[in-house]
């Protein structure tokens, strides 16, 4: 088993907490993992990505080769498209539909959606409204992770346990909100 994931977004959107959650779940399942992160310059509102590799055997490269990623998880729709060269023809794409517009020449949303639609395994969800409905506008990340969970070769319970572990220090309320967000994302994607 191997599962290579590109996580994408804009600096400050918190893709690293998605990575941390998958990481904890993978550790629980005793899998090998390598996760390359972005720190520094581009964190200031620039595009950021993380290569996340899971496997039941030794992983060599920290980077995923072009055309070999099983999944793109993005918290921003235009950013999802930036990493298409890495996605394998059978790969999936899960993204939030909510644009983060901090550049003057941001494309039309319809054009982005059309392009995403061409990826045959794509899931687009409005993570922000789902999170807001749950009363935790900051859990959009977990909604996206939930939506992507069926593509990730890990049991859903392991992801739930990881969320518990990751947010434990912030109190029960925060844990519950994030668990709800994770489950809501999974349901939204199944619809």
Partner 1 sequence: MQSLLLLGDEAIAQAALDAGMSGMYAYPGTPSTEIMEYVQSAAQAAEGNVHREWSANEKTAMEAALGMSYAGKRAMVAMKHVGLNVAADAFINSSVTGVNGGLVVVAADDPSMHSSQNEQDSRFYGKFAMVPQFEPRNQQEAYDMIFDAFELSEKLRLPVLFRITTRLAHSRASVTRQAVRKQNENSLPYNTRQFVLLPAIARKQYKALTVLFETLPSEPLISRWNRLRKGTDRSVGILTCGIAQNYLMENIADDQERYTVLSVAAYPLDRGLVSELVSSCEKVLVLEEGYPLIEEQLRGLLDRDVRVLGRLDGTVPRDGELNPSIVASALGMKTAMGKEVPSMVKQRPPSFCKGCGHADLYSALAEVMKEIGPGRVFSDIGCYTLGALPPYNMVNSCVDMGASVTMAVGAADAGLFPAVAVIGDSTFTHSGMTGLLDAVIKDSPVTVLISDNSTTGMTGGQKSQAADRIESICLGLGVSREHLRVIVPLKKNHEENVNVIREELMYHGLSVILARRECIQTATRDKKAESAKKTDNR
The residues binding partner 1 (CB under 8 A) are 10-11, 23, 27, 32-47, 51, 59-69, 78-79, 81-82, 84-89, 91, 102-108, 111-112, 115, 118-119
Q: Tokens 């739930």 — which residue?
A: 160
Give the shortest CB-131-to-partner 1 separation in angstroms. 19
Give the shortest CB-42-to-partner 1 separation in angstroms. 5
Q: Looking at beta carbons only, is 85 or 135 nearer to partner 1?
A: 85
Cα separation values, 37 from 43, 88, 98, 106, 138, Å: 11, 21, 23, 25, 21
CB 106 within 8 A of CB 39: no
Give the shortest CB-36-to-partner 1 separation in angstroms. 4
Q: Looking at beta carbons only, is 87 or 143 nearer to partner 1?
A: 87
Please give the Cα distance from 8 to 69 (Å, whole number): 13
């Amino acid at each position: 088993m191997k599962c290579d994931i590109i996580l994408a977004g804009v600096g400050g959107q918190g893709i690293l907490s998605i990575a941390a959650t998958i990481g904890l779940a993978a550790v629980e399942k005793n899998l090998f993992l390598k996760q390359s992160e972005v720190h520094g310059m581009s964190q200031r509102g620039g595009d950021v990505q993380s290569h996340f590799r899971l496997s039941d055997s030794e992983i060599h490269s920290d980077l995923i080769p072009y055309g070999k990623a099983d999944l793109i998880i993005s918290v921003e729709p235009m950013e999802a498209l930036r990493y298409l060269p890495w996605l394998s023809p059978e790969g999936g794409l899960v993204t939030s539909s909510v644009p983060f517009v901090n550049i003057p020449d941001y494309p039309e949303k319809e054009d982005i959606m059309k392009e995403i639609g061409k990826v045959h395994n794509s899931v687009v969800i409005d993570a922000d409204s789902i999170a807001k409905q749950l009363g935790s506008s900051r859990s959009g990340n977990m909604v996206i992770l939930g939506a992507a969970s069926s593509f990730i070769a890990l049991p859903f319970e392991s992801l739930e346990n990881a969320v518990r572990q990751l947010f434990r220090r912030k109190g029960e309320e925060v844990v519950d909100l994030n668990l709800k967000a994770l489950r809501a994302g999974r349901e939204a994607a199944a619809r």
